[in-house]
Amino acid sequence: LTRRRLLDWFLGTSLGAMCLSALYPVARYVTPPDVPEAPTNRALAARDGELKPNEARVFRFGSHPGLLVRDADGGYRAFEATCTHLSCTVQYRPDLKQIWCACHNGFYDMNGRNVSGPPPRPLQQYAVHVANGEVVVSRA
């Protein structure tokens, strides 16, 4: 080991350390912080009677969209409205009585099961309670 090699090594490692100490905060900065979100377990989806049979609407379930469907018999069903394929927001197709994602033509049945197209998993279903004229949806 010559004196020159040793000095080069010190110079190289300090330069490397300097670059790392500059890059580390940058790398951390560009990664967005985790914003803790109070878990939403219940949401008011609609007023009872607002939806006619065979109609649906998208409602806010915390920061996510939910889908409330009133089936032909007048019963309510609620699902997470985020398609399990690539996260588009799904909609109800009254003509087909199925839930449809317009982005890549995925279909789910009235139980949220993925029945055709690219979605790999069923939609998460929520529990629906009707009380005092309000349709309240909660995690099953």
Q: Which residues bind another protein (CB under 8 A)?
A: 30-32, 35, 58-60, 63, 65, 67, 81, 83, 85-91, 101-105, 114, 117-120
Residue nearer to another protein on the CB measure, 55 or 59: 59
Q: Least distance to another protein from the beta carbon of 94, Å?
A: 13
Q: What is the 3-state secondary structure (H, E, C) of the chain?
A: CCHHHHHHHHHHHHHHHHHHHHHHHHHHHHCCCCCCCCCCCEEEEEECCCCCCCEEEEEEECCEEEEEEECCCCCEEEEECECCCCCCECEEECCCCEEEECCCCEEECCCCCEEECCCCCCCCEEEEEEECCEEEEEEC
Residue nearer to another protein on the CB measure, 118 or 124: 118
Residue nearer to another protein on the CB measure, 1 or 30: 30
Q: Least distance to another protein from the beta carbon of 76, Å?
A: 18
Residue nearer to another protein on the CB measure, 14 or 111: 111
Q: Least distance to another protein from the beta carbon of 72, Å?
A: 20
